[in-house]
Structure formats: C-alpha cells, structure tokens
Amino acid sequence: MPGFSGKSVLVIGMARSGVAAAEKLDGLGASVLAIDSNTALKRTARELEKKGIKTHLGEHRFSDLDGIELLVVSPGVMNTSPILMEAGRRHIPIWSEVELAYRLTAAPIIGVTGTNGKTTTTALLGRIFAEAGRSAVTTGNIGFPLVKAIDQARSDTVLIAELSSFQLKNIADFRPRVGVLLNITEDHLDWHPDFDDYIEAKGRLFLNQAEDDWAVVNYDDEIVRGLLVGVKSRQVPFSKLVRVENGVYVEGGEIVAGLVGGKSVCRVDELKIKGEHNLDNAMAAAGAALALGLPIESIGEALRRFEGLKHRLEYVATLDGVDYYNDSKATNPDATVKALTAFKNPIILLLGGRNKGNSFLPLARVVKGGVHPPNGGVKVVIVFGEVAEEIRRALVDCGVRVLSAATLSEAVKLARDCSIFGDVVLLSPACASFDMFSNYEERGEAFKGAVLGLGEDFRG
C-alpha cells in the first residue's frame, strides 16, 4: 500500500466521491484540504472539519496548490478548469477517486464503461456473481464510491465498478482485471472539449491492462473496435450481428458463448429487460463473467431473472389501456434512440431537460423514420424543460408532430390526452435533469407520481 502518511493532498469536489476520498486519505495519515466552489455545502464542510480535515468553499484559489503533493479530483470538475491547469503546470499528479482506490486495494476490478448501459450491466454482473455464490460488490456511479467499496472487499471479492469518462480521464496506473466497453456515441460534450477527447477517455479503460487481463468489447460498435489497436489484454467481443467465436453472440434466438465452445447461455426471449441495447448489456455481462470463470448455468439464470432497474425502461402503470414507462436515466439522445427499440406499439415520447452539448437532429430523424413501422414508432413528441425549443425545432424540421409543456407534470397530462388504447407513453428525455430536478432519479419519481395521479387501473 502506498504511503500517504504526512503527504499534503488537495481534494477538489465535496460530493460523494470527494468526501470519501478526503476521509480515506485522512485515515491514512495524509494532510488533506478539501475544496468546492459550491458555497451551499456548508454542512458537508462542517462534518469534514469535525474530523480534522481542512475545507474551503467558494472560488478556487491557486494558493490552495501551495505545497500540495497530490490532487484528487471529483468527476464534476472539468480538466480545463483553471486550478487543474495550474496544477498541471506545477507538475502535481492529478488522480480521480478510482485511481486512489486502485492504489489501495488488491481486489480484482471489473471496470464497466460506455455511453449507455453502464448501470444496467454493472447490476447484471452483480446479480450473476450472487447467483454463482461469488463475493462481489457493485460500486462506482451505481451506488457508492470505489474508495469506500474497497473496505468491504475480502481477499476473494471482485469489485464491479461503473466508470465514467470523467473518472477514466484522470487515471494513471488503474488496471481493471476485466474492462467492459459497451458503446460510444456523442455525450458530455459540455465537459469534454470535443468528441475525440471523450473517445480517448473511454479508451483509457484498457490503458494499463496486460496480456492476462480481459477486454470485453462491443464488436458491432465501429468506434469501440477502433480503440482496440494496441490493446494488450485478451479480447472478448460480443455481437448481435456476427458470430464471434472467442466471444458472445446471438444465433438462432439464443445468446451463445463462443468463449466456452458455443454453449447456449439463454434464449433472447427469456430476457425480461426490453430493447436491443439491453441484449448488448446482457451479452457484455455474460462475457465478463465467463472471462472470470463463472458457471454458464449461473450466468443464464441471472440473465433470465433480472428485471431491470428503476428509471431504466421501468414500467409504471397501465391507465385506460395505455402503458406508461419511466426511462429518466436516458440523459442523451442515443439512449433515447435505444429505448425506442423496446416498443412495437405507437409511442407518445416525452423529451426535455438540459442539453449536454448534443445535437438532437439524429434523434429527430429516427423519430420521423420510426423504429418499428408501420404500426409502431413515435406518433407525437411532447417537449418540456430548458431545451424544449431547441428540441422542438429539430423535430419540426424533420416533420414530426410536437407539443410543448411548461412542466413534466403538464407533459404527462398532455400525453394522456393524446393517447388511445394500446399506446405507450415513454419518458426518455435525451437530456440531463438539472434544469428542473437535482438528478434523473428525482425526475423519474416526479414522472411516476404524475402518472399515478392521472387515474386508477394501476397494476404495480
């Protein structure tokens, strides 16, 4: 374990991962200063001060870097922020919280990343390990920080970590035993300077892997395939389109494990989670589990039993013959496109929130063309929130029928008025939630509350 005793460390960001990192470093004997530009975090600062950790709220000061030997940065802080750029000029090492955690544990790590599907795949892997009777902890963005999860890891525990591009951008030696890369489409261009930087950050998942590690990758994603040049680890591709003998693929309605001689994992129609993207997630989870030697029977049983997560194509209610689904976790246009593949009935689609630097034109073209024509597809879109007008323009330019609502609750009422028996009302916003809500969970709960307030015939 590296020595942190007496080392001066600056932690930037006092949300969950920042607080966890500050407390861990303090416990290891480091001299810690935790800072955050959000002056509303006074209670958090007081709690850290009680533990002997120095804090500062407000504008970042270059003087906070004086004497600092290590900087641990939270995901919300952009690498182009002045204080990080100054730290770089001073040659101060900059780590994400996952890099710190990696330095402090000997437990093997499965790292899961991608633009969409990270949380579902991480949860699926947790379910597979439980089914197999193997010790594992799901961590990262899915629950609590990796630097806290390491305290729960026994010598035989596997840490299954959902990883963002922000966290991977600031790794140094981080080396997952298994790296899972699900897909890459445009996202977080309000944080990354351009799409190439975002792609590079995702590819860092495999940066430090060696020949005895594993890379589980989406063979159907051209950008993902392009990142595999120079990867040293053993590759386990998964594909809906191609028979990949050394990976996981679909054939004859079965998920097939080419990795272990072409055995069937389970039938595709046995999956309870909807959508082609969830088939990708299931294959990725199976590939990672097979790489670590888990029994194929346990993998198949876990995939059959898994019913999905809250706010991810979550069934809410059927009212007057109309099904309502909550997909609040869809915070970018590509996630919404994937969600549309889950339904063959006509859809009333609710879009809106805060844009993360994405174009809505590709989504508008998909909505116009339909995913399951002629009977399915989107019949009307209801926009709401901060970028409602931007989305409306993109949709109208493509000839899509659009209605506008001032609030999410009003959007739900409009959807009821537009729907007929057999329709699906789908909240899949394609945007972040921060214009009206503190997170996508709060937005999803607001949607469910509005739906359940419409009437009766709710079957939970």
The CB density around residue 27, as the number of other CB atoms within 10 Å, is 12
The answer to whether the beta carbons of residues 375 and 401 sit under 8 Å apart is no
Distance CA 243, CA 258 (A): 8
Which residue of the set 24, 60, 141, 183 is catalytic?
141
141 noted as active-site residue: yes
Which residue of the set 188, 338, 356, 448 is catalytic?
188
56 noted as active-site residue: no
Q: Which residues contact 298 (CB under 8 A, 6 or more apart)?
A: 128, 131, 132, 133, 289
Distance CA 426, CA 315 (A): 10
Longest dimension (CA), the chain: 68
118 noted as active-site residue: yes
**Helix 361-369 / helix 388-397 crossing angle, nearest 10 deg:** 50
The answer to whether the beta carbons of residues 10 and 72 sit under 8 Å apart is yes
Which residue of the set 24, 60, 116, 118 is catalytic?
118
Residue 320 backbone class (left: φ over 0; alpha: ψ -120 to 50; beta: rest)? left
The CB density around residue 369, as the number of other CB atoms within 10 Å, is 11
Q: How far is CA 189 from the centre of its chain?
A: 15
Helix/strand/coil (H/E/C) assignment for every residue in 201-243: HHHHHHCCCCCCCEEEEECCCHHHHHCCCCCCCEEEEEECCCC
Distance CA 25, CA 27 (A): 5
Write out the DSSP string of 327-383. -TT--SHHHHHHHHTT--S-EEEEEESB--S--SHHHHHHHHH-SSTTT-SEEEEEE
Distance CA 285, CA 276 (A): 14
Q: What is the β-pairing status of strands 378-384 and 347-352? A: parallel
Distance CA 79, CA 132 (A): 40
The answer to whether the beta carbons of residues 14 and 49 sit under 8 Å apart is no
Q: Which residues are catalytic?
A: 118, 141, 188
